[in-house]
Structure 1
Amino acid sequence: MTNGEALLEGRCLCGDAGWTLTGDPGSITACNCTMCRRYGALWAYDYENERIRMTGPTATFARRGKADPALEIHFCPSCGCLLSWRGLRPEEDGRRRMAVNIRLAEPKAVADLPIDHFDGLDSFEDLPGDGRCVRDMWY
């Protein structure tokens, strides 16, 4: 707990890098885009250095073959765990959107968070809910 607010924490496999998310994470996004389906990530969103804080060293990857990639992916340089993505273009107010991979959190801490499905592959729209939560997507 931080100032009475909930704190979620995620750590990579080796423990060198991680993230914290303060406050209610809201619903978690499962996306089917070419990146998310390969990584198997489930995302919680906020802004860099606001409710989301990164800890430890990270390496980054921006998609090749795109003239102007929108995101960079952060992963642990030691064990390779996917930690987060960060928007490369600041929003109008100067803040940078981020998402953390909640699969790095302890299962009990995130098990009951609802899942939103997003079609990042074709329509770039939210998909109908199916009532699942994170615990339903662990396996």
Structure 2
Amino acid sequence: MPGYMLKGTCHCGEAGWTLETVPKSVTACNCTICRRYGALWAYGYDGFDIQTTGQTNTYQRRDSGDINFHFCAICGCVTHFIVCSEDENGRKRAAVNVRMSDPAPISALPIRHFEGHDSYKELPGDGRMVKDMWF
């Protein structure tokens, strides 16, 4: 969809992101960190289809050390993550927390459930959409 842009900001509005692609779904992961953050992720590449703004602090995963989670330096909302290493095309995989966006444009997107705690596998869909997980 040409010109499509989804935007998200933290609670105080100091940190944010834009996603310049139409996500087909978002991911809920139950790994040790994502389940604590309660994030719903939409994926892209840092500096390509994901642009970020504002001052963030980072937390690097302790177990694998390959992902930096970014959160607003003022209000603490988790806005996005960026994988530390580049892929074969010199890009860094990234994801934005769609819970930072307006619900209307993404409410009907299906939720992909990823078992990131034990098996590291995608689980079968259960029909839930973003609008089913706002609470």
Normalised by the length of structure 2, the TM-score is: 0.96
Match of 2:77 among 78, 81, 89: 81
Alpha-carbon deviation of 1:63?
A: 2.6
* Paired residue secondary structure (1:90): coil
The size of the alignment, in residue pairs, is 135
Matches of 2:70 and 2:9 in 1, distance apart?
A: 13
Q: Deviations over 1:88-130 (max 9, x none)?
A: 1111221100000000001112111111100000111100001
Matches of 1:50 and 1:60 in 2, distance apart?
A: 20
* Paired residue secondary structure (2:33): helix
Matches of 1:40 and 1:54 in 2, distance apart?
A: 20
Provide structure 1 residue ranges, at least 5 long, that are not aligned to the other structure.
none
Alpha-carbon deviation of 1:26?
A: 1.7
Provide structure 2 residue ranges, at least 5 long, that are not aligned to the other structure.
none
Q: Could you tell me the percent identity over the aligned residues?
A: 51
Match of 1:127 among 92, 110, 123: 123
Structure 1 residue runs of 4 or more that deviate by more than 6 Å after TM superposition = none
CA RMSD of aligned residues (A): 1.2
Pairing of 1:35-114 with structure 2 (within 5 A):
35-64=33-62, 66=63, 69-114=65-110
